[in-house]
């Protein structure tokens, strides 16, 4: 009788331990379960907001994710921004060239290197933070103004698995940096934001 009771208690304890495991797992192990995998690719569509000499408009981005650690992934991103092309620059009375582009003017091509840190899941959603640095070719065709920008990125998002190896992602990002422009503009600050959503596929 006593042996039976001991065996039952041991089994119950083992079962309880097994069921409790997901909530006791620390962040790194939970990140493993996110199914990003060792490598993944993603595509996103959204909007970018800029102003002055920061481009904005429709944003299309492609991602390549490579696992660095239990929680962190390298996120190499190539993005394209397509905005309006109206001329918004002029020479003031002191003959200084100024630009005052709108929220969704200009276009750019950017590649950036980022690190994505995945946090413990909240229900079906896996939140993550992201930071990195990029280099972008920026153009405002209406004013024939082009430049090279070096934005720093910081943002975050959520990822939800919808099928094995397939997830949907939504993220927001702010950019702060410096752009070097021709046409007498010189160095100008870059300040913008993006909101995108898309899908990710696990490669392996």
Partner 1 sequence: MRTVVTAIVLLAASSGGCGGGDISREVGARCDTARDCDDRCLPPSDDFPDGLCTLDCQTSDECPVDTRCVDKESGVCLFTCNFTTDCSFLGPRWECNEQNERADQNVKVKVCVGG
Comparing CA positions, the residue from 114, 18, 35, 39 lying closest to residue 75 is 114
Whose Cβ is closer to partner 1: residue 39's or residue 146's?
146
Comparing CA positions, the residue from 53, 105, 112, 110 lying closest to residue 80 is 110
Comparing CA positions, the residue from 55, 67, 65, 63 lying closest to residue 79 is 63
The strand pairing partners of 148, in sequence order, are 137, 180
List binders of partner 1 among 93-132 (CB under 8 A): 93, 95, 100
Answer yes or no whether residue 184 interacts with partner 1 by CB under 8 A: no
Answer yes or no whether residue 166 interacts with partner 1 by CB under 8 A: no
| DSSP class of 71 | S
| Part of the chain binding partner 1 (CB under 8 A), chosen from 18-26, 45-53, 88-96, 101-109 | 88-96
* Residue from 1, 4, 92, 164 in contact with partner 1 (CB under 8 A): 92
Helix then strand then coil, in percent of the chain rounded to 5, is: 15, 60, 25
| Part of the chain binding partner 1 (CB under 8 A), chosen from 55-63, 85-93, 104-112, 173-181 | 85-93
DSSP-H helix ranges across the chain: 2-24, 27-32
Cα angle 125, 129, 132 (rounded to 5 degrees) comes to 145
Whose Cβ is closer to partner 1: residue 66's or residue 97's?
97
Pairwise CA distance, residues 70 & 145, whole Å: 44
**Residue 151 to residues 21, 42, 194, Cα–Cα distance (Å):** 41, 21, 13
Answer yes or no whether residue 4 interacts with partner 1 by CB under 8 A: no
In whole angstroms, the minimum distance from the beta carbon of 85 to partner 1 comes to: 14
Distance linking the first and last C-alpha atoms of the chain: 51
* Residue from 20, 22, 45, 91 in contact with partner 1 (CB under 8 A): 91
Answer yes or no whether residue 90 interacts with partner 1 by CB under 8 A: yes
Answer yes or no whether residue 145 interacts with partner 1 by CB under 8 A: no
Show the binding pattern over residues 32-71: x = contacts partner 1 (CB under 8 A), - = does not.
Answer: ----------------------------------------
* Residue from 59, 88, 116, 153 in contact with partner 1 (CB under 8 A): 88
Answer yes or no whether residue 182 interacts with partner 1 by CB under 8 A: no
Contact footprint for partner 1 (CB under 8 A)? 87-93, 95, 100
């Amino acid at each position: 009788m006593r042996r039976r009771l001991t065996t039952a208690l041991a089994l119950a304890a083992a079962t309880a331990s097994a069921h409790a495991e997901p909530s006791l797992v620390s962040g790194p192990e939970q990140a493993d379960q996110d199914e990003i995998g060792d490598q993944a690719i993603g595509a996103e569509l959204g909007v970018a907001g800029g102003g002055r000499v920061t481009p904005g408009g429709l944003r299309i981005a492609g991602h390549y994710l490579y696992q660095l650690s239990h929680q962190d992934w390298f996120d190499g991103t190539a993005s394209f921004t397509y905005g309006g092309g109206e001329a918004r620059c002029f020479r003031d009375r002191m003959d200084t060239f100024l630009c005052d582009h709108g929220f969704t003017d200009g276009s750019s091509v950017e590649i950036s290197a980022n690190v994505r840190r995945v946090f413990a899941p909240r229900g079906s959603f896996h939140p993550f933070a992201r930071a990195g640095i990029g280099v972008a070719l920026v153009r405002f065709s209406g004013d024939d103004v082009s430049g090279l920008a070096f934005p720093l990125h910081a943002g975050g998002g959520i990822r939800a698995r919808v099928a094995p190896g397939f997830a949907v992602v939504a993220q927001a990002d702010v950019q702060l940096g410096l752009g070097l422009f021709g046409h007498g503009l010189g160095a100008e600050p870059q300040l913008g934001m993006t909101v995108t959503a898309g899908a990710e596929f696990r490669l392996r």
